[in-house]
Amino acid sequence: MEEYYDARAPEYDDWYLGRGLFAGRDRPGWKRELARLVEVIASLPPTRTLDVACGTGFLTRHLRGAVVGLDQSARMLAQARRQAPHATFVLGDALALPFPNDSFGRVFSGHFCGHLNQPERERFLVEARSVAAELVVVDASRAHVDVDEEMSQRTLNDGSRWEVYKRYLTGAGLAEELGGGRVLHEGRWFVVVGSPA
């Protein structure tokens, strides 16, 4: 998966913005719900936040307070530095966070947990809980698909094809995975859950 996201870095935001290979996709209500997602993220109280698997910084830029973005892809971080110049960025492994305990007020993660199998999810939660008292997770909603998980076929602009493990979540299901929490948004395309330690 690391190679895939490194290759996808320059075109990743096309998915959010409906450009390139995503221009012809029928996604009713996508723009409105994306705007709502941004509102939810921007309304989180400012605190020292670690954005795990921050990618291009598309969501990172809406977090308030002191923000550190972490990603395993140098190419993703190059994009993120341009989009979220207020943040600090670190190349690192989300399943072995390179920070001392209680370094942050919040761990935020967008579209990461949905790519993790159960042992990886458990490891991520241990890591996240060690560095912050709060966890906010954004991922793909189960409402727009008829499967809970799949091996998703992805094609990049260069024609390369990739297979990526992907899960789709309900608000209640994600809250349960996180060990409890509050559903901050649940729509056709996105789900957001905030979970205190």
Give the pLDDT mean for 110-138.
97
Region 161-188 average pLDDT: 97
- List the CATH number of the domain containing 116: 3.40.50.150
CB 52 within 8 A of CB 97: yes
What is the domain extent for residue 40? 2-196
Q: What is the pLDDT of residue 77?
A: 98
What confidence tier does 139 reach under pLDDT thresholds 50, 70, 90?
very high
* pLDDT reported for residue 18: 95
Tell me: pLDDT of 80 over 90.
yes
**Three-state DSSP class for residue 19:** coil
Q: Give the chain's domain count.
A: 1
How much is the average pLDDT of 117-126?
97
User: What Rg, from alpha-carbon coordinates, does the chain have?
Assistant: 16
Contact 188, 143 (CB under 8 A): yes
pTM, two decimals, is 0.96
Residue 174, pLDDT score: 97
Q: Residues with Cβ < 8 Å from 32, sequence gap 6 or more?
A: none
Confidence label for 126 from pLDDT (cuts 50, 70 and 90) = very high
Strands (E), 28-172: 49-52, 67-71, 88-91, 104-110, 132-140, 149-155, 161-167
Cα–Cα distances (Å) from 36 to 42, 107, 108, 133, 193, in that order, read 10, 20, 17, 25, 14
pLDDT tens-digit series, residues 23-75: 999 999 999 999 999 999 999 999 999 999 999 999 999 999 999 999 999 99
pLDDT at 197: 66
pLDDT of 129 > 80? The answer is yes
Mean pLDDT of the chain: 96
- Helix, strand, coil in percent for the chain, rounding step 5: 35, 30, 35
Structure tokens at 179: 């060990």
Look at residue 2 in the predicted model and tell me its pLDDT.
Answer: 82
What is the average pLDDT across 93-107? 97
Question: What does the pLDDT read at residue 125?
Answer: 97
Residue 1: its pLDDT value, please? 76
Give the contacts of 113 (CB within 8 A, at least 6 positions apart).
121, 124, 137, 139, 167, 169, 174, 177
For residues 184 and 135, give the distance between their C-alpha atoms in angstroms, rounded to a whole number: 12
DSSP 8-state class, residue 45: P
Cβ proximity of 174 and 193 under 8 Å: yes
